[in-house]
Amino acid sequence: MITKIFGIILVASMAVAGIACIPFGSIVGRGPVETRNQDFSGFTKIEISSTFKVEVVRDSGYSVSVTTNENIFGYLDFSQEGDTLKIKLKDGSYTVASLKARITAPEIASLQVSGASSASLSGFTSNANLKLVASGASSIELDSIKCGDLDANVSGASKIKGSMETGNATFLVSGASNVSLSGQGRDLKVTCSGASRGSLKEFASTNAKVSFSGASNGDVSTSGRLDVTLSGASSLKYYGNATLGDVNVTGASSLNKG
């Protein structure tokens, strides 16, 4: 009898604890998880927020599908402004078991993720320029991407990783963020600040210009000229047959050949 009563109390306590973990006023995902198609086309830019997990795949046609709890579909806030597709939830607090999307398109010129969202980009090969932005503890994963010039901005404990082939590549990394890439590009420019990391040893470049500050660190691989500015206890290790150009190392920072 005592064991039975204890069991009832334990179950009740767990239920109360579970309820307590849900923020007051939070919209909770309920009902079965479903996948539904959304009607959008003609976009080349994508903006993602609201903790979505999105897969973006190259295809000859356009498609957008969402997988989430049945009652959450009424809270989706998807829109298209010109060539920009925006994916998010309506303003509010949510506790959702599943919040995923899958997108196909022939070409992508820009991908932005924010608000603890994540996206993967795969199959895109072209000579067009590409812009990537990850902020607010978000991430982008790249799978064998080929593009023209690349402009990437990573901030707020976010990350970009994967493999790609680019023209000139520019990375601006801040706020304890991380870039980790393999592949190759022409001229590389990477700026890291605020305890960020640029892991580009496996990304072969023709020339490189590196600026690290605020206890940032990383590595690069280049066969041409390497210009370096390091400050605030930052460090860089370089690989390849680089010829050092302008070098400015201060504040307990270090530059070493790998």
Residue 75 main-chain phi, psi, to 5 deg: -105, 0
Q: Is 174 helix (H, G, I), strand (E, B) or coil?
A: coil
pLDDT interval class at 26 (50, 70, 90): confident
- Of the candidates 102, 151, 144, which has an alpha carbon nearest to the alpha carbon of residue 124? 144
On the question of pLDDT at 21 being above 50, the answer is no
> What does the pLDDT read at residue 14?
38
84-129 tens-digit pLDDT? 999 999 988 788 867 999 999 999 999 999 999 999 999 999 999 9
Q: Which one is predicted more confidently, 55 or 30?
A: 55
130-142 tens-digit pLDDT? 999 999 999 999 9
Residue 18 main-chain phi, psi, to 5 deg: -65, -40
Beta bridge partners of 189: 170, 209
Average pLDDT, rounded, for the chain: 92
Beta bridge partners of 217: 197, 235
146-184 tens-digit pLDDT? 999 999 999 999 999 999 999 999 999 999 999 999 999
Distance CA(235)–CA(214), nearest Å, equals 10
pTM for this entry: 0.89
Domain positions in the chain? 143-258
213-252 tens-digit pLDDT? 999 999 999 999 999 999 999 999 999 999 999 999 999 9
